Structure 1
């Protein structure tokens, strides 16, 4: 955020707060809301207004990642922020459930964006529940190897090690008497992860491609890029790249 001596009017500050409010609703799209579209354009063109918006977001422990003309103001909560998403906030989920759900989120990101080039490529990525499940199933043995270093000692990915052990014990898919995917299956966990991404405006159902298919939004790529330093995510990306090399 830059320092400015601009004299803001109450209307300027209100507009800045409104734009941040729009950004906190990630499923809103500026093209369908004239006020959102106009404020976003002002953010992109008016440096003083941009400073006011950045300051408003800063006060909420949010970083403004991008002002995208289609997807709107993309915000990222800082680590430890009251707005940050944490698996432990899911009080109804047990420890093992949170581990597997976290692994599913990382696998979605690693399968779609395994390289730094992918994280900069604005091509829309398509993914399916079975894509992610197959990715993790094929890599179970490699995930086991990835948790041990060259000296045979446990590598510093304790959460990854615990997660794949739980994941490997679950069946890929199990139908209930009502023909729904059982909660005690990995594809159900992946579906839960994808549904959360849809709720956050980071993915869109793509039923025309078949059941369980999705398109990943630009917003998701930006968020993954922000979190790309995660050791567990980096380990999954290494495995994904190795798998792609084997396919070539």
Structure 2
């Protein structure tokens, strides 16, 4: 059980990579080959109220806290004190990153690194807010609610895309700052990597992020964003 707990402990450090830690690499290999050890690890994860999504050879153990779990991250737990409207737009940015990168079920199954940029996500969201605004009323002029999205996109639409401080940093009142904040959080969680060689504000999304999105893909808000993203792609074609 000590080895099982050690492997789970490694998995709870999402930026840790097995190839850099020999003990982690060996335990991960044992998990894949030893059924009794795999059962012990699975039981440990279950006892912590998590699901083990995958034992990936490069990215390690990918764990996902269950809904309501004490380990589940919520935007109100953000280390920076956020007001309600800030949490709304930050949550929208996270969903937009996922929907832009993985708009179809096939994208969620494709083992290919996705590249993304702050400006691309912001542009995507601005297109979506315009479309959501147009779709907000039905043929009879009655409101068509997207309860998980409406408040967020209305706040987002009021913010400027860019606004710089006197030191030329992106102001917190700009949407590109919100998107960058979301991407930097993914970096901290081992789900994205900065890619400055591709240009300022560019990132690569890790397999770990795709696996986590796959777990949350049933969200109604995520489905709406994906539908709009696919419409946008069809128009580009």
What TM-score, normalized by structure 1, do the two folds share?
0.92
Structure 1 pair 148–230 and aligned structure 2 pair: CA distance change class (3 A): farther
Does residue 40 of structure 1 match 2:24?
no
Partner of 1:188: 177
Q: CA deviation at 1:154?
A: 3.9
Partner of 1:168: 157
The separation in 2 between residues aligned to 1:237 and 1:191, in whole angstroms, is 20
1:70-123 CA-partner distances (Å, limit 9, x unpaired): 000000000011111111223710010000000000000000000000000011
Segments of structure 1 that go 5 or more residues without pairing to the other structure are 1-12
Does residue 218 of structure 1 match 2:207?
yes
- Aligned positions of 1:73-88 closer than 5 A: 73-88=61-76
Partner of 2:198: 209
1:168-211 CA-partner distances (Å, limit 9, x unpaired): 00000111000100000000000110010000000000000001
Segments of structure 2 that go 5 or more residues without pairing to the other structure are none
Structure 1 pair 130–183 and aligned structure 2 pair: CA distance change class (3 A): same
Does residue 24 of structure 1 match 2:12?
yes
Partner of 2:216: 227
Equivalent pairs, count? 236
What TM-score, normalized by structure 2, do the two folds share?
0.96
Aligned-CA RMSD value: 1.3
Partner of 2:127: 138
Specify which of 31, 42, 55 is matched with residue 54 of structure 1: 42
Partner of 2:113: 124
Moved more, 90-99 or 219-228: 90-99
Structure 1 pair 41–117 and aligned structure 2 pair: CA distance change class (3 A): same
Moved over 6 A (4+): none
Contact 1:99 / 1:159 at 8 angstroms: preserved in 2? no
Partner of 1:159: 148
The separation in 1 between residues aligned to 2:140 and 2:190, in whole angstroms, is 43
Structure 1 pair 168–233 and aligned structure 2 pair: CA distance change class (3 A): same
Structure 1 pair 148–38 and aligned structure 2 pair: CA distance change class (3 A): farther
